[in-house]
Amino acid sequence: MPSLQEQIGDLPQQPGVYMFRDQQGTVLYVGKAKNLRARVRNYFGADDRFNIPFLMNEAVSVEPFLTGNEKEALLLENELIKQHQPRYNIELKDDKHYLCLRVDPHSKYPRVEITRRMRSDKARYFGPYHSATAIRRTVRLINRHFQLRTCRDTVFKNRKRPCLQYEIKRCPAPCVLTIDELAYKQSVQDAIAFLEGKESDLLTRLKMRMLQAASGEDYERAAQVRDQIFAIEESLQKQRVMSADLEDRDVFGVAREGQRAVIQLLTVREGKLRGGRTFDLDDNELPTKELLEDALRSYYDKITAQPRQIPREVLLPFEIEGRAAFEEWLRERRGAAVDVLVPERGAKKKLVTLADNNAAHRLRTRVETDEAAQETLERLQRSLRLTNFPERIECYDISNTQGTEIVASQVVFENGVPAKSEYRLYKMRAAEGQDDFRSLQETLTRRLKRGLEEGELPSLIVIDGGIGQLNVARAVFTDLGVEGVDLCSIAKSRVLGDDQGFQGADAVEDKNPERSPERVFLPGQKNPIVLKPYASELLLLTHLRDEAHRFAITFHRKLRKNRGLESALDGVPGLGPKRKKAILRRFGSLKAFAAAAPEAFKDIAGVPEKVLVEAQRHVLAESAAPAPTKAQDQWEKLQTDLSEPSDN
């Protein structure tokens, strides 16, 4: 991977959003910019925010996302922050800057409320509003002229008499008074139309009501509707609210270079650009039109289980042969109208152009990244004098806590990129106790035996550890007759002068102790190879090692957590979950079950008496074990809290 500064030089000078990622691909920070290249370049010296040095110390890549203008970048930034919850986005992490209005038309007496989070419920959402003053002014206007309740549900259910809002004629007090539910629902629909900006339909309805009230000589009601019309006309001239019911669209863009193509999907929901997805297609010889057509079918076939995800419109960059059939297919699955369009001008054409630009940038970045990965693998082959080009690399790590729950991980990198579908986990079958060498031997034996049988072996195997772990792997290679596979191990750096793995008093006080470099051991070579600290091939090896360590520890912690939920009834032959529940339901506790007489076993239907006798014997044996002293108990608790699964 190119360095971060090299990546910045490739950023476009256009508005958009940028995301910093760490070595594991986790999003660290999301920001917006009018000029992506100029803004990101400021992080190297010109930005004096206190958290920037910490961010830049972790970030290894920056990913751009082009938008049409700064406003689109602002809204997209908000959506991406809500999706990824980046660690360094302090201000926007909890959506505090974006307020919305919520109306639930399905409740008996809906209200208009201010919220900061859109949920997947049946309610209607309007916004986001960039000004708290504007949203509160809108709520006051709705309260004054549409007379919807504003109290919370808990207050609404427990009121005994009307509140002040009723006295000043801003609420009909449905909490305690009998009102016309149909009229209230009509007011709710009027308020929703107002928030949607459908002034024409709303004002037409109100004028008809005013005339009806006047013709029926209900002049007071006619005057109220007249004032309502004037207020709405004045308000609609001042602001327009972005509605949640604006058209939903999926916008596709395509970029291609030879057999490599990128399809970019922009997701427009409720009138706002929510984000997008990128589909990388390699080694494909289909014509571009057929390629897009197949990709569309594949994508929408996966989401037809959720018809609400299919939008009202699908915008394409060019005509596809089966557009009419594809449109009809989408309509059947959505259960509503769907238009598949190829816009030639206007706002929709601009969206398609935006998708094309993002696809082209992604393709250009991928080409450059693949070239850099190829160069890194070539440098790794030269530096370690490997016999094979390291197209497929496997790395292994052992994890346990004091010899319990021993697990091993296998992570795979193909062409310098993690292939997570190829990751594997191993639970030890023969190895016991805290013997990492024996565990590594068992893991490699199982993996290589299968590989020899299936004719599928990696180009390079990397072991997390030092010369001892490497010699174990060499012994396995010799026993199984493995040939044509390169082997190495990588040892972590350590604090110099700390051979035992513990720091003395002086070292503890030193916040930046001197450390040894990462060392790579090769078979038949006594001294390790020390690569340059920031060499791309070393970064690749450390990424492999760290990924294997992370994968092993995650699995180990899961097993350790499950072990903490074990019962004294576990492991009894013939005693499954239903029978365990029957025992506990009859006796209430294991203590009562252990003290029960054999005659009581006849009351448990469906559980054989011999199984109950064996279960009671098992529980008694567990309870007969010597109880730990208080000091032992405290020591074990401390070890559990502080221990970290060991690796090699």
The CATH number covering residue 273 comes to 3.30.420
What distance in Å separates the CA atoms of residue 494 and residue 503, rounded to the nearest whole number? 10
Is the pLDDT at 195 greater than 80, yes or no? Answer: no
The predicted-structure confidence for 357-371, as pLDDT tens digits, reads as follows: 988 888 888 777 777
400 and 546 together in one domain: yes
Is the pLDDT at 343 greater than 80, yes or no? Answer: yes
Mean pLDDT in residue range 324-341:
84
What distance in Å separates the CA atoms of residue 30 and residue 275, rounded to the nearest whole number? 13
Token reading at 351: 């969206």
Pairing verdict, β 339-341 and 313-315: parallel
Is the pLDDT at 584 greater than 60, yes or no? Answer: yes
Token reading at 472: 């174990």
pLDDT at position 227, please? 77
More confident residue, 95 or 81: 81
220 and 118 together in one domain: yes
Asked if residue 341 belongs to a domain, the reply is: yes
Asked if residue 34 belongs to a domain, the reply is: yes
The predicted-structure confidence for 626-641, as pLDDT tens digits, reads as follows: 444 444 444 444 444 4
pLDDT at position 324, please? 79
Asked if residue 127 belongs to a domain, the reply is: yes
Is the pLDDT at 37 greater than 70, yes or no? Answer: yes
Q: What's the domain range around 630?
A: 577-642
224 and 105 together in one domain: yes
13 and 148 together in one domain: no
Select the highest-mean-pLDDT range: 378-382, 491-495, 511-515.
Answer: 378-382
Residue 369 pairs in a beta bridge with: none
549 vs 90, 161, 392, 425, 577, CA distance in Å? 29, 64, 18, 12, 34
Is the pLDDT at 454 greater than 60, yes or no? Answer: yes
pLDDT at position 288, please? 82
Place of tokens 């809002």: 165
Q: What is the CA radius of gyration of the chain?
A: 33
* Order of all β-strands in the sheet with 124-129: 112-115, 99-103, 124-129
Assign 197 a pLDDT band (cuts: 50, 70, 90). low
**3 state SS of 184:** helix
Is the pLDDT at 497 greater than 80, yes or no? Answer: no
More confident residue, 25 or 626: 25
Asked if residue 465 belongs to a domain, the reply is: yes
Q: How many domains does the chain have?
A: 5
Is the pLDDT at 244 greater than 90, yes or no? Answer: no
544 and 407 together in one domain: yes
pLDDT at position 639, please? 43
Give the residue among 546, 548, 565, 553 at the shortest CA–CA distance from 405.
553
More confident residue, 327 or 141: 327
**φ, ψ (nearest 5 deg) of residue 356:** -60, -40
What distance in Å separates the CA atoms of residue 132 and residue 130, rounded to the nearest whole number? 7
266 and 234 together in one domain: no
Mean pLDDT in residue range 521-540:
87
Asked if residue 96 belongs to a domain, the reply is: no
Mean pLDDT in residue range 178-207:
77
Is the pLDDT at 353 greater than 80, yes or no? Answer: yes
pLDDT at position 318, please? 92
The predicted-structure confidence for 276-292, as pLDDT tens digits, reads as follows: 778 888 766 667 887 88
pLDDT at position 573, please? 78
347 and 457 together in one domain: no
402 and 431 together in one domain: yes
Mean pLDDT of the chain, nearest integer:
77
CATH number at residue 36: 3.40.1440.10
Q: What's the sign of the alpha-carbon dihedral 533, 537, 541, 546? A: positive
Asked if residue 506 belongs to a domain, the reply is: no
Give the residue among 593, 589, 585, 582 at the shortest CA–CA distance from 615.
593
Token reading at 207: 């004028």
Assign 325 a pLDDT band (cuts: 50, 70, 90). confident
pLDDT at position 386, please? 92
What distance in Å separates the CA atoms of residue 298 and residue 294, rounded to the nearest whole number? 6
What distance in Å separates the CA atoms of residue 429 and residue 407, rounded to the nearest whole number? 10
Assign 11 a pLDDT band (cuts: 50, 70, 90). confident
Residue type, 285: E
Contact 492, 518 (CB under 8 A): yes
